[in-house]
Amino acid sequence: MKKLLRSGFGIALVALSLASCSSSDDNNGGTTTPTKPNEIKGTVKKGEKLSLDGTKVYNLTGKLVVEEGGTLTIPAGTTIIGTGGTSAYIAVAQGGQIFVEGTKDKPVVMTAAEKKRGSWGGLVICGRAPINKGETATAEVSDLTYGGKVANDNSGSIKFLRIEYSGANYNSEKEFNGLSLFGVGSGTTIQYVQAHEGSDDGFEWFGGTVSAQYLVSSNNDDDQFDWTEGWNGQENAFWFSKQSGTADKGFEADNNAKNRNADPTSNPTIKGITLLPAVDGKGTAMKLREGTKGKMFDVVIGDYETAFDVEHDETITNVNNGTLLVSNVKLISTKTKATKGKNTKGDTVDVSKVFTTGENKGAGNGTATPDWAKGWTVGL
């Protein structure tokens, strides 16, 4: 592990002082691997500040962990290339902070040396906001503690970030997502983030209260958006997903698999959603189960086989009392089955109350790429 050096201007990894490197971007998802890449890995400890150089390309050869009281700043234009599968990831612990300062013209890019899904871990953030797995728990990746009682906990700010080829897996039950949010608080800012070509979910929330705006989830193998453990973000807006490959679902929404009535209950609010399938006529747009609640508005659903698949007694109760409702939905295909429902016993039930129809533009441009997603994303 490289040691951290103190200076009047903060902290830098020893490897960052190596010869500078160059990169090029063809605007089609690729970055050129530098001939002399700078290496980053290690720990940013309490009171330390690590600021990268936006003109350089860095090789992430191991885990980089921002501990409590530490700060990681990644300026516009920075490229970080992950190598080493599950050993390479960036994680922010409780009390640590990350500041990704990308712009539309110069997004921050976290990618892989091999342009293949699952080539490195991903970005993991752990906060002190409430979860329903217990007062605290241990993250399934990174082994860091998350959860607590600080609803407005602040883990930093992320703007204009592209995460590519992540999702390295330890086994079939334990794998990284593009962006994993464990008990992250509402004081954290997440805007303009794309998770692209990952081997698991694009984005996943494990409890917490953080909201996110302007998200793109594209070509990830599993669900594009996933939440569980009592996630309660209330200011989410403009989410766009385009699936491909072996993609599973647009949304997979849970409360708690072991206790569907666990408190706090997953109950986010999201406005402006577009979900497009990997293959026309196949797949499920939204899987709603395990007692989740939620309010979603202005939703465009592409040519899926099923729009809404609802499971379990507790979830169906939420549908019937209106605490789980998807309003103003536009189904693009007349062949899409609007709803499918099963109670806990597996009996078929009517869940048609889960949605209402209406004209809207979803994430911005209906099924077309939103204007806000142009210029900094790839693969759309």
User: Which residues have C-beta within 8 Å of that of residue 32, sequence separation ≥ 6?
Assistant: 22, 23, 24
Inform me whether the pLDDT recorded for 99 exceeds 60.
yes
- Give the percent of the chain with pLDDT over 90: 82
> What pLDDT is attached to residue 23?
35
Residue 14 has what pLDDT? 36
d(CA 7, CA 43): 16
Binning pLDDT at 50, 70 and 90, where does residue 247 land? low
User: Which sign, positive or negative, has the C-alpha torsion 210, 130, 199, 99?
Assistant: positive
Contact in structure between 42 and 16 (CB atoms under 8 Å) = no
The Cα 26–Cα 239 span in angstroms is: 25
Averaged pLDDT for residues 275-282:
92
Instruction: Tell me what pLDDT residue 200 has.
Output: 86
pTM for this prediction: 0.90
DSSP 8-state code for residue 31: B
Number of H helices, E strands in the chain: 1, 30
For 291-300, what is the mean pLDDT? 98
Query: Percent helix, strand, coil in the chain (nearest 5)?
Result: 5, 40, 55
The pLDDT value recorded for residue 37 is 55
Q: Minimal CA–CA distance to 249: which of 271, 231, 270, 225?
A: 225
Question: What does the chain come to in residues?
Answer: 380
Q: What are the tokens at 72?
A: 């990681």
Q: Give the contacts of 301 (CB within 8 A, at least 6 positions apart).
A: 250, 275, 285, 286, 307, 329, 330, 331, 332, 336
Count of alpha carbons within 13 Å of 293, Cβ hemisphere only?
A: 19
In this predicted structure, what is the pLDDT of residue 215?
A: 98
Contacts of residue 358, Cβ cutoff 8 Å, sequence gap at least 6? 298, 327, 328, 329, 330
Task: Report whether pLDDT(232) > 90.
Answer: yes
Tokens of 361: 């533009």
The domain segmentation of the chain, as residue ranges, is: 4-210
Tell me which residue of 296, 290, 133, 123 sits closest to 207, measured CA to CA.
133
- Closest residue by Cα to residue 196 from 142, 254, 122: 122
